[in-house]
Amino acid sequence: MAPNLLKQAYPWIKTPLIIGAPMRLISLAPLAVEASRAGGIGFIGSGTDTSNLEHILQHAQSLLSAHPIPNSPTTTLPIGIGFINWGASLPIALPLIARFKPAAVWFFAPSSLTSLVEWTTATRAASPATKIWIQIGSVAAALEVTTACRPDVLVVQGTDAGGHGLVKGAGIVSLLPEVADALANLGAEAPLLVAAGGIAEARGAAAALALGADGVVIGTRMLASPEANIAAGYKREVVRARDGGQTTVRTKVYDMVRGTTGWGKDYDGRAVVNRSFVDAGNGMWEEENKRLYEAEIEKGDDGWGVEGRMTTYAGAAVGLVTEIKGAADIVEEVREGTVRVLEGLKGEAKSKL
């Protein structure tokens, strides 16, 4: 999809485009709608479980009907839906895609390339106006997925991202330009690229545009919003944590204690280091670590923190998240800040030193 077609597909957006990540069971109707309402694109994080998706979409539709987003299209719902394809049910999702016509679907972590092609083909047939976004974390996957699925948008996820992604990876500073170069021979046929991973504010967003991104995904930052569907203890931990390169880690330990074990071997998740991770490193048996995790749930908000066991999925940019703020305000702040950074840069590059 050529860049000018994105604004045609999403007439309510403002640029630079800020996108709310489809955080599984965290980004529900309120967060997705507020991100779009601010001129971004919000995504519902349906994830691996499609059983409640109809209810979530009805909620989004009612929020949008009550307070329509200016310039939103009549043919599609001005939000997207994110699926974690290895777990999501296509038979459940497909009729909902056909009925609600989301502006985008975001596919991630399919069980196979064949399955991804199936989802893509079925979605295009069910809702031709819905754009196909596919998340990848390597140059090899970018080439493979683009050839097989011809997505409208590739979400290029760097290894600084919070939550799930590839065990091995590069930051967007290296990954995004190499993906762009690898796809350059496709010309106007190449997908748009949006950058995800490690971006929490305007400087990171401006950097992503410099790298060649057509839009910028924020995830961890959105955890610290009233709209995020997580416990107060989780939000408090996101606001507290600093120096994310040292205090977060990519690991499979949190999947183990939580029992979310359907992820393929190439995937793990980035989260703040806590007792579950430390104990696993010290050789604690999985059964015991899992038992302690389940007992910790009883503690409620007090179960989060360095000495707690509730999982704080968050990216390496968690240290840049220092306050709770409304999702729409976050989108506006990042977008307007990005413009200021870019305006400042031209002169700065020539005069600063």
- Tell me, what amino acid is at 323? E
Query: Rg of the chain over CA atoms, in angstroms?
Result: 19
The least distance separating its own copies from the CB of residue 27, rounded to whole angstroms, comes to: 20
198 Rama sector, left if φ>0, alpha if ψ -120 to 50, beta otherwise: left
What is the DSSP pairing of strand 163-166 with strand 192-196?
unpaired
Binding-site member from 49, 113, 117, 171 for its own copies (CB under 8 A): 171
- Check residue 334 for interaction with its own copies (CB under 8 A): no
For residue 287, what are the contacts with CB-CB under 8 A and spacing of at least 6?
Answer: none
- List the x/- string, 198-227, binding to its own copies by CB under 8 A: xxxx-xx-xxxxxxx-xx------------
Interface segment toward its own copies; rule CB under 8 A; list 227-235, 251-259, 287-295, 338-346: 338-346
Does residue 174 touch its own copies according to CB under 8 A?
yes
User: Quick one: tokens of 24?
Assistant: 């599984």
Site for its own copies in 243-272 (CB under 8 A): 243-246, 249
Return the half-sphere exposure (C-beta side, CA atoms, 13 A cut-off) of residue 23. Answer: 33
CA 24 to chain centre: 9
Q: Is the dihedral of CA 247, 269, 17, 41 positive or negative?
A: negative
> Binding marks (x or -) toward its own copies, 80..119, rule CB under 8 A?
----------------------------------------
Residue closer to its own copies, measured from CB, 53 or 207: 207
Segment 38-67, which members bind its own copies (CB under 8 A)? Answer: none
Helix (H, G, I), strand (E, B) or coil at 103: strand
- Considering only CA atoms, which of 2, 6, 36 is closest in space to residue 19? 36
288 vs 348, which CB is nearer to its own copies?
A: 348
The footprint of its own copies (CB under 8 A) covers 3-4, 6-7, 13, 15-17, 137-140, 158-160, 166, 168-178, 180-181, 197-201, 203-204, 206-212, 214-215, 242-246, 249, 315-317, 319-320, 338-339, 341-343, 345-346, 348-353
